Amino acid sequence: MTAETKQKRRRWPVVLLAGVVGLATGGLVTLLAASGPGVGHFRTLAGQKAYVSAYQAAIATLPKPTQARDVATSFGTVHAYVWINSHPVDDVPVVLLPGRASGVPMWGTNLPDFAAHRTVYAFDAIGDSGLSTQTIPMRDIGDSAQWVEEALAGLDLERVHLVGHSQGGGLAATVAVRYPGRIASLTLLEPIMTLGIIPAWAVGWTTVASLPGMPKSWRDHALNKIGGVKDGEVDPNDPMVRMIAAGSEHFDSSSLPTPNLLTDRELRGLRMPVYVALASDDSLSGDGAAKKAQLIPHAQVRIWPHTTHSLPMQASAALDAELENFWVRHP
């Protein structure tokens, strides 16, 4: 195994585990809570400082953004980065929505390819770990879609290629259903709770991983089972690992809304071009997701071989090239 392959193998499981465990933990807390929707927040000031330090180390591994923007919405402030391409292939930028607990740094593998051809915006999600801040509770995924629409408006983005991975894919799909006017195209990368339910095997392991008092060795083993990696394969010194660990420890995102399964009517109602990428191995998009996606009138659906839920990182070069061709055809 080359050093480059080893590095990739150690990074992509982290993004996968962050999304699944965040979802499982959030669902568990939601079931146990009686107080209703809350606001995502850091548990302590010291914890916030520790997270921000880890986040800054992770964001430093990405190409340097042209600027960072804070955009006010009805539910709080969205922290966004922009990489401006002075000679884009066309005027339609890409907008990236991250998976659970991953934030903007999760796009580090794909971003250089995207930014080489066009301007790119990337958001930290309101209600989740990152540098966005939430001030008003969100009742459901529709409220999450509203802040995305308001952020796009606040950035004066009239037409965009909207891309989401995992929970971000479910959020992107809801934005397209409710606010289709700005969406030149929609890209769903292993979207969860959108085309199908999370498989029972993943729910079982995430329950083990999220139970209070679980020994660390058992929890780590459960996480590795979900990620499809061997015990000890994830590098604890990777900046993304440290950022996600700090977010899991210090940020309470238990009230973050999870996506809803789209109805057949909603899927048929998506009139923009849609690209759906699904994993061949242990996909978290649900059984029958590919068949369900075929209900979308202008859908390009592909099951990527030898990939798991972290498909964007595992197949980055080929996927990025295919997406650029998709975007060029649908300006």
Domain boundaries, the chain: 3-329
- The pLDDT, as a whole number, for residue 12 is 53
- The pLDDT, as a whole number, for residue 226 is 64
From first to last of its 331 residues, the chain has per-residue pLDDT tens of 444 444 444 455 555 555 554 544 444 433 333 345 799 999 999 999 999 999 999 999 999 999 999 999 999 999 999 999 999 999 999 999 999 888 999 999 999 999 999 999 999 999 999 999 999 999 999 999 999 999 999 999 999 999 999 999 999 999 999 999 999 999 999 999 999 988 887 777 777 766 666 776 776 677 666 655 666 667 778 898 889 878 878 888 889 999 999 999 999 999 999 999 999 988 989 999 999 999 999 999 999 999 888 899 999 999 999 999 999 999 9
Q: Can you list the alpha helix ranges (DSSP code H) found in the chain?
A: 3-32, 45-59, 111-115, 141-154, 167-178, 200-210, 216-227, 239-250, 264-268, 289-293, 311-314, 316-329
Does this model's pTM top 0.85? yes
Residue 247 neighbours by CB under 8 Å, 6+ apart: 18, 51, 54, 101, 103, 129, 130
DSSP 108: G
DSSP per-residue codes, 270-291: --S-EEEEEESSS-SS-TTHHH
Could you tell me which CATH number the domain at 3-329 has?
A: 3.40.50.1820
**285 contacts 192 by C-beta, under 8 angstroms:** yes
Reduced to 3 states (helix: H, G, I; strand: E, B; else coil), residue 303 is strand
Please report which helix (H) or strand (E) contains residue 76, including its range: strand 76-83
Q: How many CB atoms lie within 10 A of CB 121?
A: 22
**Rounded Cα distance, 224 and 220, in Å:** 6
**Rounded Cα distance, 93 and 269, in Å:** 23
**Rounded Cα distance, 254 and 27, in Å:** 7
DSSP 214: -
